């Protein structure tokens, strides 16, 4: 289990599980998400939400993993642009560590 900070002052945080990171990886949710300027703002979070909603709507099989990710992380009350940036950084480090194992 990992913990990310969801606001700059550090008063809010969120728990991220290994399963959440695997789901992000499985569906490549961060691929092509950020524009060339590299800035993660509320529009990037909105884009992620729309992408996930579209993915769930188009799936014919069970999408419980995506629904859990939505409930626990993406649509969580504390998730804002700062939190998404922290989640992306966590994912990058998690992926790098996984590849070196």
CA 99, CA 42: separation in Å to the nearest integer? 30
pLDDT-derived band of residue 101, with 50, 70 and 90 as boundaries? Answer: confident
* pLDDT for residue 11: 94
pLDDT score of 33 more than 90: yes
| Mean pLDDT, residues 32-54 taken together | 93
- Mean pLDDT over each residue of the chain, to the nearest integer: 94
What is the percent of the chain where pLDDT is above 90? 88
Pairing between β-strand 13-16 and β-strand 2-5 as defined by DSSP bridges? antiparallel
Name the phi and psi angles at 28, rounded to 5. Answer: 50, 50
Quote the pTM value: 0.93
């Amino acid at each position: 289990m990992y913990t990310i900070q969801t606001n700059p002052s550090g008063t809010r945080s969120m728990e991220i599980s290994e399963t959440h990171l695997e789901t992000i990886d499985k569906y490549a949710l961060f691929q092509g998400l950020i524009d060339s300027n590299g800035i993660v703002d509320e529009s990037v979070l909105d884009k992620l939400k729309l992408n996930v909603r579209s993915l769930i709507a188009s799936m014919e099989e069970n999408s419980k993993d995506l629904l859990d990710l939505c409930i626990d992380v993406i649509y969580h009350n504390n998730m804002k642009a700062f939190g998404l940036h922290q989640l992306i950084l966590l994912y990058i480090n998690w992926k790098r560590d996984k590849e070196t194992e």
